[in-house]
Structure 1
Amino acid sequence: MAFTRLFKALAAITLASSIQSVAAGSSASSDSVCANAGKCVPFSIDLTWGPSDPSKAISRNAILTNGSLPGPPLKLKVGDCVDFTVHNNMPNVTGIHFHGIRQNGTPYSDGVPGVSQYVIQPGTIYQYQWTAEESGTYFYHAHYKGQMADGLYGAIIIAPADDAKTPWGLIDSSAVATLKAASEKVEPVFVSDWNRRTFSEFFAVEQAANIDGACSDSIVINGYGSQYCPSAEFIASQASPLAALVLNGTSLTSKGCFPPNSPITQGGQYLAFQNLAALPDDFYNTCIGYKGANYTTVVDAKDGYKAFSFINSASIPLVNIAIDSHKFWIYEVNGNYIQPQQVDQVVVANGDRISFFVKLDQTPGDYTIRVANAGLNQVFSGFAVMSYKGGNDQVLGIESLNYGNQNTTEIVPFNPALAAPYPPNVPATSADRSFVLDIQKSPQQPTEAWAWTLSGISSYNQTNDDGQVPLLFQDVSQIPASDLILETLDNEWVDLIIKISGPIAEPHPIHKHANKFYMIGAGVGDFNFTNVADAITAGYPFNLQSPPYVDGFTSIPANGNGTWMVFRYQVNTPGAWLLHCHIQNHFSGGMAVAILDAVDNFPKPPSDVGHVCTGTGKSNYPGLNSTLSSGSGAGYGSGSSTNNEGVSTTSSTPAAYTGAASSVTVSMTSLALGLLALAFAL
């Protein structure tokens, strides 16, 4: 049996080698990926397709990574090289993206089929190789169509260099060593929506009914969670007052969602083309309910502080996070240290990673971690538990966030516009090139509510994932001009001016592959300029002194108006990349463009791209001393986290919110507070 498996693996490697060599053709260089393998840390994942664990959350067919969901974390230190091997034992093709990782010199490892690689075929082995250049929290996830929604994701934690400057002294100058120790044991926490349907099934329903789907079944934390079915009265009592205004006399569905025929959220022009008979009852209108377990992390007050990195791997919702009776010291956003902010709540958008310290100074007990959908599209939440050692399972704490994302006390939210890099890091004062992009429903598909464009003209076609020779493997001089392909020159500074059409401007989390950018400005209203210089002359405010430095940012939501935002980045990572919305059905609906960075210095992939090399390196991550064995993910356990079966999770009104409706103090949600600040009125 073992011999048969080995034979198949060797055959797969040989086949992959032949495919890649032929595919590369004249574009391939003589450089070899495997020439570097001896110094690289080996890390392997084994992908299978099968039912998820029914004790944790709704069970359905999903992508299991080394038999689990999420997959095992990869821990490295700045300077480490990794050989990341994928054993595709699924019946489906795939590709793995390393979200936020700068692929300088390794553009063939970005993991986007049709752009930087061919798909990984079923029954084959494929290896990525890259070097950890920047510290922080990142993650690997599927980048073939909407497969991320099927559970393929895992954390990447990169420790800083020994001489790196850290902001610990700005948080607590008397506890620098304690904060450093906590940061070295940071716990990654994935937050996602989890649906009864696979993504391909979900998207097929969306297309058949001709709707822009925005209704999920549940929120899960590290794969654990329940589908709650509270009463209509409870849902209405927890919802934002703005929801009632937008609904204009209609009601939320039994799953807490805006109805699929709402002209405000769907667009009145599409209602005549809907086929709501194609919607299954439980897609919007029937809440089935499911009692799963709650994720529990155990903390020890003796440690002083606990560090978390919350990662939003959701298909649809932006999420707001709070822990009863605990404040956060946010110190890192999207893998970059920031000037710390002490807050009560933080919104984490799709694809973003927010790292923070929690001071462990409360009475030992169990404190609820609340994760609420931060948008108006649906009223629902997920829950986890932070359990102090010695607390005897006693539930304690005062909530600041209800089931519908409304504040129950006065709070300080995280302000992403003030997330200045630490140490200071500024962009160029002007750009060499500007691109104007316009997020809207696809003008070329005027009857299809699910179709989007980022360019303002065409929808990105995800059939490119399957049939197109990857852009990286093409002769860049022969790639036809298109509104879906942007081209830049080496070392230029580029402005991406992104406009979001109204009258309902949804929040769109836009992610750029390859390298980070500076978020220099955003606002509500028209932006009738083709460059930032003219906008500054006209009095528009921009932040060129301390702008956030990130790989993803979310547009301001607006009702009755359009919005805009501007990203500025330096072309210092040549290759073929994507810029896209991280809401998975928006991405699949066409909200993406490709960027060919540095066409005057365009890289040529090595001839052995995807080959399996023999790495023998060791990770320099603090506390990891053993060589990682291929295929095992050795040394990457779940820390102190446990599953607490005693936590109450029901499929009706959450126990944590029984009777809370009468005592809720309505105030502006932290999402609005955080995102409206992005007007950058300096």
Structure 2
Amino acid sequence: MRFAPFIAGAFTAASAVLAKTVQYDWTLSWVNANPDELYDRSVVGVNGAWPLPAIQGKVGDRVIVNITNNLGQPTSIHFHGLYQNGTNEMDGPVMVTQCPVPDGSNFIYNFTLDQVGSYWYHSHWKAQYVNGLRGPLLIYDDDEPFKDEYDEDIYLTMSDWYHDEANWLVKNEFLTLKNPTGAEPIPDAGLLNDTQNLQWVVKPDTTYKIRIINIGGFVSQYIWFEGHDFEIVEVDGIYVENQKASMLYVTVAQRYTILLKTKSSTSENFPFMVSFDLNMLDNLPDTLNYNTTGWITYDTEGDFPDAAIIDEFDFYDDFYLVPVDKEETWEADTTVTATVVMDNLGDGANYAFFNNITYVAPKVPTLLSVLSAPENDSVNAYIYGSNTNAHVFEYGEVVEIVINNGDTGTHPFHLHGHAFQVIERSNASDSDDDFIVYDASNPGIRNEYPMRRDTLYLRPNGYFVIRFKADNPGVWFFHCHIEWHLEQGLAMVLVEAPLQIRERITIPDDHWEACKVGGYSYEGNAAANTQNYFDLTGEKVQPNALPAGFTARGIVALVFSCVSAFLGMGFLTWYGLSELKTTQHEVAQIMGEIPLDDESGESK
């Protein structure tokens, strides 16, 4: 049996003497790793090592992350859950707030920590973070409300793991004609602190503060500790009133901080478990172990028992958590309503939509469009593109977002730049014929003091209602944090207080340089038009619609017909494919995998 230690938050003991500027100099390159001891593969390492280091600091600290990109492909880093108030340009999502960092280039992220709690960082270029470019980000607080209730501060990451490189999966297995149903790639394993068989050596009669962070790319997971209950004290950086629980349901990108007290006796070791939400998987390969086990270890020489089989997942519903500050419900000034749908377009691939629009990145990062546009034009959502799902809000508005789920899947949605109030969340519906749609005239259950967080899951065929204050000028991404669904286009862009953005945001020289070296436009509207911001000619848009009457089932039949063509059915193949107007070559251009054709029609 191979053991790995639980990771301690050693920063606490040294926090009083830590400098106010915390600098990380990182060279990103490929290294080999085999965390599940089943398959050796290349992963994104930092300074030649993987797993990646935790970023740690205290409130008020300045953090500098200086990266050198030696990956042979672009990259970026997003600091998940940080509001980046006044530093929107450091948020990280490619073509939202910055151009991708080109291979061979340096790039600096520089911001001040003005929050507390548990966060993480990850690449925000395509599906790159699924290849290992992700790690914890911990902010320590001398004034936390439960500071006298624990003895040690540690963190625990959970994740799904793939043996194949993520971008290869997207191009060859997922977003392709041969996967018309949009079935997500099935993980090969689950990991705890980027390993398996994790041994957490504990002291008796000791209360541990455990920061639980799901850094995976797809699957929500249940977590429980046999023989031990715990108290929830923080979610996504928001302190909550202590809540007893025995199990959590943690979607990708969510964080929970819990207090767990160990037993007095050291005579027995206990398993703790994380388990995939199997409802999210289209199939269960025989090789997949969807349970990952660690052990609360009182005696390193003792037995390590198998986990008990449980009949149901009885987890605490985060909707009922109460923030310590007990903010009452904010009254909405404006509402954005969107329906999630997964469907096929003319290339035969399956895409994700908000109100029939699948997100396609513009030619110019939206933040740079805000800064370069004439002032009167910057407040008009039209200039930010037909396929960005852009919405513009005035400074100080309370924005309500209503998401109706026209899909049978679970979707964890993340809002950059904010924690939002969770106003309502419906139950799931197992039937497409019983699609639950939000009705403002007939509201569901609401709490006096709504729970706040930055990542919330939408139940199958259900809805949720959230609200946030537009008091943080910037361009903020709102998207499903299942990385495969983001690749499918399940995202919108919120342009918050564009006039104030223009007053407060300054773009550093290395950010401009990244655009120039990478060959990206850095001024103009979504089509890079600097002369007329309302002329979107040449913008990047979604593939054409399917021919009338075509369905995913029909595409599957078509694919098999194509295979049969090799046995002599050439005419049928030509006839079937003639109606698919958007080619895979064009899709690759739209998704940014190859440059767009120039005016002559030749590929660059």
TM-score between the two structures when normalised by the length of structure 1: 0.64
**Structure 1 pair 544–41 and aligned structure 2 pair: CA distance change class (3 A):** same
Question: 1:634 aligns to what?
Answer: none
Question: 2:468 aligns to what?
Answer: 569
**Can you list the C-alpha shifts for 1:147-194, whole angstroms capped at 9, x where unaligned?**
11101111111112x444x1x3xxxxxxx6351x33xx2x22221111
- Does residue 199 of structure 2 align to residue 296 of structure 1? yes
Question: 2:402 aligns to what?
Answer: 497
Pairwise CA RMSD: 2.5
**Residue 578 of structure 1: SS of its match in structure 2?**
strand
Question: 1:312 aligns to what?
Answer: 214
Of residues 77, 81, 86, the one that matches 1:105 is 86
Distance (Å, rounded) in 2 between the aligned partners of 1:581 and 1:40 = 33
Matching residue's letter, 2:320:
L
**Structure 1 pair 400–325 and aligned structure 2 pair: CA distance change class (3 A):** farther
**Structure 1 pair 507–66 and aligned structure 2 pair: CA distance change class (3 A):** same
Report 1:443-592 matches (<5 A).
445=345, 448=348, 450-453=350-353, 455-462=354-361, 464=362, 467-474=363-370, 475-476=372-373, 477=377, 479-480=383-384, 482=386, 484-502=389-407, 505-524=408-427, 535-536=439-440, 538-543=441-446, 545-557=448-460, 562-592=461-491
- Does residue 510 of structure 2 align to residue 606 of structure 1? no
Contact 1:436 1:497 in 2 (8 A): yes
**Displacement of 1:610 after TM fit?**
4.1
Question: 1:338 aligns to what?
Answer: 240
Contact 1:325 1:398 in 2 (8 A): no
Matching residue's letter, 2:364:
Q
**Can you list the C-alpha shifts for 1:211-248, whole angstroms capped at 9, x where unaligned?**
423322111112213xxxxxxxxxxxxxxxxxxxxxxx
Matching residue's letter, 2:224:
A
Of residues 364, 368, 383, the one that matches 2:292 is 383
**Displacement of 1:314 after TM fit?**
1.6
Question: 1:218 aligns to what?
Answer: 189
**Displacement of 1:201 after TM fit?**
1.4
Matching residue's letter, 1:576:
V
Distance (Å, rounded) in 2 between the aligned partners of 1:607 and 1:507 = 37
**Can you list the C-alpha shifts for 1:88-110, whole angstroms capped at 9, x where unaligned?**
12111100000000110000000
Distance (Å, rounded) in 2 between the aligned partners of 1:42 and 1:416 = 35
**Can you list the C-alpha shifts for 1:453-488, whole angstroms capped at 9, x where unaligned?**
1x21211125x4xx5344345435252464611110
**Can you list the C-alpha shifts for 1:393-425, whole angstroms capped at 9, x where unaligned?**
322586364xxxx43xxx752111111111312
Matching residue's letter, 1:484:
N
Of residues 365, 388, 393, the one that matches 2:302 is 393
Matching residue's letter, 1:120:
V
Contact 2:204 2:265 in 1 (8 A): no
Equivalent pairs, count = 467
Bigger relative CO (Cα 8 Å, ≥ 6 apart): 1
**Structure 1 pair 362–318 and aligned structure 2 pair: CA distance change class (3 A):** farther
Distance (Å, rounded) in 2 between the aligned partners of 1:340 and 1:400 = 28
**Residue 117 of structure 1: SS of its match in structure 2?**
coil
**Residue 177 of structure 1: SS of its match in structure 2?**
coil
- Does residue 158 of structure 2 align to residue 191 of structure 1? yes
| Unmatched runs of 5 consecutive residues or more in structure 1 | 1-37, 169-175, 226-293, 530-534, 613-682
Contact 1:221 1:382 in 2 (8 A): no
**Residue 602 of structure 1: SS of its match in structure 2?**
helix
Matching residue's letter, 1:540:
P
Distance (Å, rounded) in 2 between the aligned partners of 1:193 and 1:608 = 35
Matching residue's letter, 1:587:
L
**Displacement of 1:57 after TM fit?**
5.4
| Unmatched runs of 5 consecutive residues or more in structure 2 | 1-18, 428-433, 513-604
**Structure 1 pair 197–596 and aligned structure 2 pair: CA distance change class (3 A):** same
Question: 1:129 aligns to what?
Answer: 110
Contact 1:58 1:195 in 2 (8 A): no
Matching residue's letter, 1:217:
D
Distance (Å, rounded) in 2 between the aligned partners of 1:91 and 1:48 = 8
**Structure 1 pair 510–438 and aligned structure 2 pair: CA distance change class (3 A):** same
Distance (Å, rounded) in 2 between the aligned partners of 1:97 and 1:437 = 25
Structure 1 or 2: larger helix share? Answer: 1
Question: 1:7 aligns to what?
Answer: none
Contact 2:437 2:463 in 1 (8 A): no
Matching residue's letter, 2:43:
A
Contact 1:460 1:591 in 2 (8 A): yes
**Can you list the C-alpha shifts for 1:343-364, whole angstroms capped at 9, x where unaligned?**
2211100110111122101642
Distance (Å, rounded) in 1 between the aligned partners of 2:300 and 2:43 = 36
Distance (Å, rounded) in 2 between the aligned partners of 1:438 and 1:310 = 31
Contact 2:413 2:479 in 1 (8 A): yes
Contact 1:324 1:400 in 2 (8 A): no
Matching residue's letter, 1:60:
R
Distance (Å, rounded) in 2 between the aligned partners of 1:201 and 1:373 = 23
**Displacement of 1:81 after TM fit?**
1.5
Matched residues, percent identical? 23
- Does residue 276 of structure 2 align to residue 373 of structure 1? yes
Matching residue's letter, 2:403:
I
Distance (Å, rounded) in 1 between the aligned partners of 2:226 and 2:54 = 27
Distance (Å, rounded) in 2 between the aligned partners of 1:53 and 1:67 = 15
Q: Which deviates more from structure 2 when the two are superposed, residues 506-515 or residues 600-609?
A: 600-609
Distance (Å, rounded) in 1 between the aligned partners of 2:90 and 2:479 = 18
**Residue 330 of structure 1: SS of its match in structure 2?**
strand
Contact 2:201 2:300 in 1 (8 A): no
Distance (Å, rounded) in 2 between the aligned partners of 1:317 and 1:480 = 32
Matching residue's letter, 1:307:
K
Distance (Å, rounded) in 1 between the aligned partners of 2:295 and 2:245 = 18
**Displacement of 1:592 after TM fit?**
0.4
**Residue 596 of structure 1: SS of its match in structure 2?**
strand
**Can you list the C-alpha shifts for 1:47-79, whole angstroms capped at 9, x where unaligned?**
111321467553211111233333111111111
Contact 2:271 2:307 in 1 (8 A): no
**Residue 494 of structure 2: SS of its match in structure 1?**
strand
Distance (Å, rounded) in 2 between the aligned partners of 1:207 and 1:105 = 36
Distance (Å, rounded) in 1 between the aligned partners of 2:291 and 2:306 = 17
Contact 2:97 2:365 in 1 (8 A): no
**Displacement of 1:600 after TM fit?**
3.1
**Can you list the C-alpha shifts for 1:636-675, whole angstroms capped at 9, x where unaligned?**
xxxxxxxxxxxxxxxxxxxxxxxxxxxxxxxxxxxxxxxx
**Displacement of 1:449 after TM fit?**
5.1
**Can you list the C-alpha shifts for 1:6-27, whole angstroms capped at 9, x where unaligned?**
xxxxxxxxxxxxxxxxxxxxxx
